[in-house]
Structure 1
């Protein structure tokens, strides 16, 4: 996994092979951050990274000086890896949390400028993510929710859906507050 922008640009991290993850590809991640750079001021964002895995997206936001990043993953190995990398790189704005994402969303009261979710593609509860985020009012005014999913999946039925961008087998669906 490689950081594609910001102060850590070019640094490669080598997470343990035994983690149950499917990291966002560099191509898709670069495209995502190009979109975001034209829409938001990244260094003023309060970000929530759901199903954070190795922290690929969290580390990218931290490299680009996002204000605060909360990273949630249930797997202890993923949580521990991100916690250790954050400490090694002195990325104090990353707060790793070991929790079930759906339970976390139901209990969370903070608001975020941007929420990114990269659930396992075979998870049948993916549409629930947008529902919970908007029911719990977890986005700030003009906040953005981005869900990464299989390109053949359609999340456009949600009333806050704005667009879908496809990158090979993957897609990003955008939702606005």
Structure 2
């Protein structure tokens, strides 16, 4: 990790998660910080796994992160990582991403969606459409997919900005349109 928690290692669930590599995470945050100031941002980390993306955002100045993870073992790891990092500004939700975005709730400035590679386009489309009403006015949506997958189905009001391939992973950035 970089930022305030620089050099710290996160615990990873025993199986079933694919943590974002350090190389991809560094490149992703370099691009994100060129687009926006993370200070005070409210972050949503869908399909959180170990929480690497949300914790990185907190380490770089985000105000609060909500982690959504359906696997109970991963939820315990998320809670442990938050405790080990000394972070109280986190909310850990044990639900599917689809169920979480279907509910009412706060708006977010940054949303990370890093679903398992097995999650299909249709399921991802439902999740992205569900999160769209919860995006703040100038929010950034970051989607990580297998490079062999199609570009994510961007919800209405979100403009695709760029895509960058890192081996078998491609990271896509979208932003809420000013008129969106």
Fold shared per TM-score above 0.5: yes
Q: How does 1:23-34 map to 2 (within 5 A)?
A: 23-34=19-30
Q: How does 1:120-135 map to 2 (within 5 A)?
A: 120-124=116-120, 125-134=123-132
Q: TM-score, normalised by structure 1?
A: 0.90
Aligned-residue offset at 1:156? 5.8
Q: Is the 8 A contact 1:127 1:155 kept in 2?
A: no
Alignment correspondent of 2:148: 152
1:93 is aligned to 2:61: no
Pick from 32, 36, 42: which aligns with 1:40?
36
Matched residues in 1 for 2:91 and 2:153: separation? 32
Matched residues in 2 for 1:92 and 1:25: separation? 25
Matched residues in 2 for 1:71 and 1:139: separation? 16
Q: Is the 8 A contact 1:51 1:74 kept in 2?
A: yes
Unaligned residue ranges in structure 2 (runs of 5+): none
Aligned-residue offset at 1:64? 1.4
Alignment correspondent of 1:49: 45
Alignment correspondent of 2:4: 7
Matched residues in 1 for 2:119 and 2:171: separation? 16
Q: TM-score, normalised by structure 2?
A: 0.88
Aligned-residue offset at 1:157? 5.3
Deviates more, 1:57-66 or 1:153-162: 153-162
Q: Name the SS for the 1:155 alignment partner.
A: coil
Listed one character per residue, the Cα deviations across residues 5-31 of structure 1 (whole Å, up to 9, x for unaligned) are: 101111223435x23100001110000
Q: Name the SS for the 2:119 alignment partner.
A: coil
RMSD across aligned positions (CA): 1.5
Deviates more, 1:57-66 or 1:115-124: 57-66
Q: Is the 8 A contact 1:73 1:101 kept in 2?
A: yes
1:140 is aligned to 2:139: no
- The 3 A distance-change label for structure 1 pair 157 and 102 is closer
Alignment correspondent of 1:65: 61
Matched residues in 2 for 1:15 and 1:80: separation? 10
